[in-house]
Amino acid sequence: MNANAKFLSATAEVDSAAVAPLPNSRKIYVEGSRPDIQVPMREISQSDTSASFGHEKNPPIYVYDTSGVYTDPAAKIDIRSGLPTPRAPWILERDDTEELDGPTSEYGQARLEDPALAELRFNLTRKPRRAKAGANVSQMHYARKGIVTPEMEYVAIRENMRRKEYLAELKASGPLGERMAEMMGRQHPGFNYGANIQAEITPEFVRDEIARGRAIIPANINHPEIEPMIIGRNFLVKINGNIGNSAVTSSISEEVEKMTWAIRWGGDTVMDLSTGKHIHETREWIIRNSPVPIGTVPIYQALEKVNGKAEDLTWEIFRDTLIEQAEQGVDYFTIHAGVLLRYVPMTAKRMTGIVSRGGSIMAKWCLAHHKENFLYTHFEDICQIMKQYDVSFSLGDGLRPGSVYDANDEAQLGELKTLGELTQIAWKHDVQVMIEGPGHVPMQLIKENMDLQLEQCNEAPFYTLGPLTTDIAPGYDHITSGIGAAQIGWYGCAMLCYVTPKEHLGLPNKDDVKEGIITYKIAAHAADLAKGHPGAQIRDNALSKARFEFRWEDQFNLGLDPDKARSFHDETLPKDSAKVAHFCSMCGPHFCSMKITQDVREYAASGMQEKAIEFVKGGSKLYSKA
């Protein structure tokens, strides 16, 4: 079962499926205030409207691009060398970090020196960095000092997605462009439940939101490879994809492939939840090749170090694990510091007890020792480590409900309150924080989760798993949870952790990763539209126009998954000629409502409209009102 034997660093290759640009897409870079701020976006070009629909030139569309240089044909990809390091100069020039001689964690040193691992070790020539003595290198710290970092400017440009320039260029291009700008830019007013949505994101707004704790940029100084992104309720809703092996299955190469696959389809961050063999080495390969922030749950690895015996865990082992991972470049840590001893007995009467792995480990530890959770008692020590590398907290919801039955119970809400208290402590250290949330919650209880979180955690970004709105559909939990994710995203959740179709049943493979990512991109985008995020509707508008004008290729290419759209269309009408046909297999050639509507437009335009209005004025109404 274990495929690790096949993985050798000397022959490691990138997944070829992850490197081709998406169809009709070109990676562009928008330059910031300095030449080394180069913010990637994906430009999707469109074909012209056909003559029968008025022969219009359709402008390209710009979309948020999480795929990194993998989809840039100009980039040389070699996963054995890892990605370029756009953040390196920014980190260096701040002059508040120092290069270490090597890993300072005992475990990191041991792994580096173990000759048996040589054949699968990533060959990192760079040394880890750490804050200089007494320094705090978190983005929150800079923000509170009033400094706009290149990372902050980067995410501001990224969030805006060239919207203003795009519409201005269109308008300036003539009467057609003006009409096109009006059409593409039109959007329904949102309802944002008290979010502070900006017409345009400025670097200063980013700084302010981070200083306030309402947003985070997960960006470890040892992960210079990332393209910075921001998580906060006043920004685009983000999604996370979980990968990671278990003791039962999967290998390093599979996990790296899942990462590149997840970001190709839109994953904003990736969590490596490995619990099997070679956790340390797997993580190194993932981080060195990941342009998105990587999160982990360090307690998983700590538990492996004590051979799975929760009661044998110690603060020292955990601390060494934090440092080990921080020096590799993990951007955020899930820490289950809110699982307090007094909450544990509250879970005994639950339908499904404690379903969080981290939560159950800590619960077991607490009870075994009759002591308070050491993650709680050492929370300030953890903060000290976090700020030396700028690792963000993802305060874990170890007591999240594992069933609709257990939703919003006292254990869950008690822990949430504690997470709010811990947030204040982390903020005292200028450490960035987000808060994890449930889980399994029926629709009518979702908003209570969001409202309590905003209130008790002072608007620190919420990061929820789903929530799953029913338990009765194993095999479809990407859908049971996508329904809840769209809603909580609308209510103010900043990042949605995906659930794949395999949830509760098995370890997701690449197909499941893609299905989960696309489902969550849908949920996040639906939430952006509902909140009225400026420009969110441009892509919907462009795709709808393409659909209406039978520009099949454009319809496929503007969608979240051009490959699947094309293959579905091909199933019934495989010929190339069908791609320019003004009909599809649902209605056939003589019976297309879109086609008939075109006729209606021509009628309407030809003066019939006047006559129709006259007719109505003349008393076409047949029945009087009830």
386 binds a copy of itself (CB under 8 A): no
One-letter amino acid of 311: E
17 binds a copy of itself (CB under 8 A): no
Task: Please list every residue from 387 through 406 that binds a copy of itself, using CB under 8 A.
Answer: 402-405
Task: Please list every residue from 570 through 599 that binds a copy of itself, using CB under 8 A.
Answer: 571-573, 584-594, 596-599
Question: Which is nearer to a copy of itself, 128 or 338 (by Cβ)?
Answer: 338
Among residues 76, 444, 576, 577, which is the contact residue for a copy of itself, using CB under 8 A? 444
Instruction: In angstroms, give the least distance from the CB of 56 to a copy of itself.
Output: 13
**Is residue 492 annotated as involved in ligand binding?**
no
**Is residue 356 annotated as involved in ligand binding?**
yes
One-letter amino acid of 100: L
Tokens representing 337 are 């510091």
Question: Which is nearer to a copy of itself, 10 or 348 (by Cβ)?
Answer: 348
Task: Please list every residue from 231 through 290 that binds a copy of itself, using CB under 8 A.
Answer: 246-249, 275-276
Q: Which phi-psi region, left, alpha or beta, contains residue 508 (left: φ > 0; alpha: ψ -120 to 50)?
A: beta
Instruction: In angstroms, give the least distance from the CB of 348 to a copy of itself.
Output: 4
Q: Which residue has the tokens 């609709």?
A: 404
Question: Which is nearer to a copy of itself, 94 or 579 (by Cβ)?
Answer: 579
Instruction: In angstroms, give the least distance from the CB of 507 to a copy of itself.
Output: 5
Percentages (nearest 5) of helix, strand, coil residues in the chain = 50, 10, 40
Distance CA 60, CA 429 (A): 45
Distance CA 223, CA 583 (A): 50
Instruction: In angstroms, give the least distance from the CB of 545 to a copy of itself.
Output: 6
Closest to 249 in 3D by CA, of 470, 577, 602, 506 = 506
Three-class SS of residue 499? Answer: coil
Closest to 542 in 3D by CA, of 40, 107, 24, 13 = 24
**Is residue 126 annotated as involved in ligand binding?**
no
Question: Would you give the DSSP letter of residue 472?
Answer: S
Question: Which is nearer to a copy of itself, 29 or 615 (by Cβ)?
Answer: 615
414 binds a copy of itself (CB under 8 A): no
Residue 242 near residue 292 (C-beta atoms within 8 A): no
Q: Give Cα 602 to chain centroid, integer Å.
A: 45
214 binds a copy of itself (CB under 8 A): no
**Is residue 584 annotated as involved in ligand binding?**
yes
Question: Which is nearer to a copy of itself, 127 or 369 (by Cβ)?
Answer: 369
3 binds a copy of itself (CB under 8 A): no
Instruction: In angstroms, give the least distance from the CB of 566 to a copy of itself.
Output: 9
Strands in 160-281 per DSSP E? 215-216, 231-232, 238-243, 269-272
One symbol per residue from 512 to 551: x for binding a copy of itself (CB under 8 A), - otherwise; what is it? ------xx-xxx-xxx-xxxx----x-xxx-xxx-xx---
**Is residue 358 annotated as involved in ligand binding?**
yes
336 binds a copy of itself (CB under 8 A): no
Q: CA-CA-CA-CA torsion for 346, 352, 354, 355, nearest 10 degrees?
A: -160
76 binds a copy of itself (CB under 8 A): no
Strand partners of residue 241: 270
Instruction: In angstroms, give the least distance from the CB of 180 to a copy of itself.
Output: 12
Contacts of residue 340, defined as CB under 8 A and 6 or more positions apart, other chains included, come to: 366, 372, 373, 376, 414, 415, 418
End-to-end Cα distance, the chain: 72
How does strand 332-335 pair with strand 392-395?
parallel
Total residues at the site for a copy of itself (CB under 8 A)?
148
Residue 261 near residue 288 (C-beta atoms within 8 A): no
Task: Please list every residue from 297 through 316 that binds a copy of itself, using CB under 8 A.
Answer: 300, 303, 308, 310
Binding annotation: 242, 271, 300, 336, 356-358, 397-400, 436, 440, 463, 504, 584, 587, 592
Binding annotation for [4Fe-4S] cluster: 584, 587, 592
